[in-house]
Amino acid sequence: MRNLNLVPLNGLRAVEAVGRLGSLKAAAVELGVTVGAVSQQIQKVEQQLGSEIFIRHPKGLVVNCVGELVMPHLTAGMAELSMALARATESRNNTLVVSVAPVFAAKWLVWRLKKFYDANPSIRIRVDATTALVDPNTSDVDMCIRVGNGPWPGQRTSKLLDQRIFPVCSPAIAEVLIRPEKIRTVPVIRDAGALFDWEIWLKPFGLTSADLCEGPTFSDASLCLDAAVAGQGIFLAWETLANDALVAGRVVAPFEGRFSTGAAYWFITRNHSFKARETAAFERWLRSEMALSFDMA
């Protein structure tokens, strides 16, 4: 392994991160350095190897034919190093790191974690709230709860729950919504970051987006739900977001029926995890809590 002396590890990390993530900016965020530092590391590696690894484009870097040969080995090697470090600290580390979307964490998961701790006092959970598509095989994340069409190659995935949507609003607004066509009469709260649109719910009732009124728009679904609670209009929500507000009566679902977006919640873990027992315990608990909250049929 003397050839490892040719290039510092930091340089190899920079090359691997850019090759895997596809951009200098994303690699800089993951490595905790500046974009300039990543760029300099890559240049040094190419000089030390005597060969370019990336093609420079105005929009960023793309691996060339040499990079295509190198990158799978670098990514596999970094994953093995990460696993080695994790194993070295296994005896003193009883914490599971779970990557989840901020909205799912804030509106559903956090409120139930005490029940997991009570049932599993030796396991702690660290929540990494992010919208980034984290790969447990190449990070310190032990498991992810991800919304999408799945599955994701190279990762262990199991389906948790279909994502289903339905309108919610304050009890006062619900009084005028005696049938679906009445939605034309109330403001509509819009989520600028939604991965689906109102047509999924409107079409079965013979309505279109042209039937919707104007209303406030927010960049965060949690804010949209809060606006619905505050009586600012009707919002197309989903179960993990609106469940607790519905149970508490802060919002109501004025119409029957919940419609699938085609996406689902998935539980994702490493291919080979030395925390398999702890991860399995968390998945069992998660499924049990979802069964209590939602109609899983």
pLDDT in tens, 206-238: 999 999 999 999 999 999 999 999 999 999 999
Please tell me the pTM assigned to this model.
0.70
Give me the pLDDT at residue 131, please.
85
Domain end residue (candidates: 30, 61, 88): 88
Residue 248 and residue 267: Cα distance in Å, rounded? 28
17 and 146 within one domain: no
Give me the pLDDT at residue 91, please.
43
Decide which of 61 and 186 is more confident: 186
Q: Return the CA Rg of the chain.
A: 23
Band the pLDDT of 125: cuts 50, 70, 90.
Answer: very high
Give me the pLDDT at residue 276, please.
85
Sequence letter at residue 200: I
CB atoms within 10 A of CB 277: 9
Instruction: With beta carbons less than 8 A apart as the criterion, state whether 226 and 235 touch.
Output: no
Q: Give 169's DSSP letter.
A: B
209 and 153 within one domain: yes
Q: How much of the chain exceeds pLDDT 70, in percent?
A: 94
295 and 226 within one domain: yes
CATH assignment of the domain containing 144: 3.40.190.290
193 and 64 within one domain: no
Give exposure, 148-182, as e/b (b: 16+ Cβ within 10 Å): beeeeeebbbeebbbbbbbbbbbeebbeebeebee
251 and 129 within one domain: yes
Residue 153 and residue 255: Cα distance in Å, rounded? 38
107 and 29 within one domain: no
105 and 51 within one domain: no
Domain end residue (candidates: 69, 88, 107): 88
Domain membership of residue 23 as a residue range: 2-88
Q: How many domains does the chain have?
A: 2
What digits encode the pLDDT tens for the residues 17-44?
888 888 888 888 888 999 888 888 888 9
Domain end residue (candidates: 36, 65, 88): 88
276 and 169 within one domain: yes
Residue 92 has pLDDT above 60, yes or no: no
Residue 89 has pLDDT above 60, yes or no: no
226 and 100 within one domain: yes
193 and 73 within one domain: no
Average pLDDT of the residues in 76-80? 79
Sheet holding 188-191, edge to edge: 124-129, 95-100, 143-148, 259-269, 156-168, 234-238, 188-191, 217-218
284 and 222 within one domain: yes
161 and 74 within one domain: no
Q: Which of 47-51, 118-122, 288-292 has the lowest mean pLDDT?
A: 47-51
Residue 4 has pLDDT above 70, yes or no: no
Residue 97 and residue 109: Cα distance in Å, rounded? 14
Give me the pLDDT at residue 296, please.
61
Give me the pLDDT at residue 171, please.
97
CATH assignment of the domain containing 63: 1.10.10.10
